[in-house]
Structure 1
Amino acid sequence: MTRNCDSYREQAMIDGMDSPAAVRWRLHSKNCNACRNEIHLLGMLYRQANEQRHHISYKDYTRLVETVRQLHQP
């Protein structure tokens, strides 16, 4: 990927995938296989996350919170 690819992607991620920046990235991806694949994978992951949401158990949640606390202690 080139620097242009990075700038298109970063702006689309900042502005959101429904933004004009994302439209520019999609237009760019018509001539760039790497960006086309990346957009396709992001779309698949987004759909999968929306269709297959899983809630973590209370036990796992408390372990996660404790780990974060330990990592961010002053």
Structure 2
Amino acid sequence: CSIYLKKKIPLEGVAHQVGTCRFGSDPKTNVLDLNCKTHDVDNLYVIDGSFFPSSAAVNPSLTIMANALRVGKHLLEVMTK
């Protein structure tokens, strides 16, 4: 099966934008803590590709879903205490 593209897709058109709210333990260098909760705004969690430190070589969708499940489990534990 061959695919014919009438027009080349520019490299910028296929990139996955990630890394805008990196996570880590230091509020001076990271926006989110290790559970993707913002350091500065209480009860605000960011559960998308923003937490990545940089772009990966493959589609980040499965990693984003896995992280969302991980953070969801954390939130459930926090809310049921």
* TM-score tier (shorter): 0.3 to 0.5
Higher relative contact order (CA 8 A, sep 6+): 2
TM-score, normalised to structure 1, is 0.35
TM-score, normalised to structure 2, is 0.33
